[in-house]
Amino acid sequence: MNDNWAKEFVKEKLQKYKPQIGDERENKNADIYLKEIDKGVNVRWASFREEEGRFWSWGLGDGEQIKNKGYDYYVLVACDENRDVKHCFVFTYDEMSKLEPRNGGMFEHKYYITFYDGSGKYNDALACDPNEKSELERDLNENSGKYDNKWDRIK
C-alpha cells in the first residue's frame, strides 16, 4: 500500500482550497498544494496495530522531510485494517519542525509519532521509557482533540 489513497482522502477534505496532487501541482514541495491559499500539505497514513493495545505509528525516517520548509501543514491519517479513517491529525509546520528523534528503544535516532487508542496504553508505554516520547507525541496523546479532524487549522 502507498500514501496515494490518503492523499486523495485529504484532498477531498480540503476542496475549498483548490487542492492539487501529483503531477497537477503547481508547487511540488509538498504532497498537496492548496492553490487558493498558496500552502503545502504533507500526508502520511498508518493502520492500527494491536500488539500491546491499539495504536498507530508513523515513521518519518531521519527527519529530513519534516525539517524541510516545503510544507505548511502535516496530516497524519489513522485508519483500521479496511482503510476506514479513524483519526486525522492536523499539525502546523512549526509543530512538526520541533519533533525530535527518539531517545531510546528500537527506533533510536529516528523520527516517529505514535498515537495510542486510550490513555491507559499511552501511560503504560510512557512508564516503560519516559525519555523515548517526544514533546509533540506527548501532546498528541494527552490532547488529541487539539489535532484530530481540526481541518480549520489549515488557513
Per residue in 54-85, pLDDT (tens digit) is: 788 888 877 777 777 889 999 999 998 788 89
Share of the chain above pLDDT 90, in %: 49
pLDDT at 119 (0 to 100): 58
Of 71, 57, 72, nearest to 29 by C-alpha is 71
DSSP per-residue letters across 100-138: ---SSSTTTTS-EEEEESSHHHHHHHHHH-TTSS-HHHH
Q: What distance in Å separates the CA atoms of residue 105 and residue 132, rounded to the nearest whole number?
A: 7
- DSSP tag of 72: S
Among 16-20, 35-39, 47-51, 91-95, the least confident range:
47-51
Most confident stretch, 25-39, 77-91, 109-123: 25-39
Q: What residue ranges define each of the domains in the chain, with the CATH number in brackets?
A: 4-153 (3.40.1350)
pLDDT at 83 (0 to 100): 81
pTM of the entire predicted model? 0.88
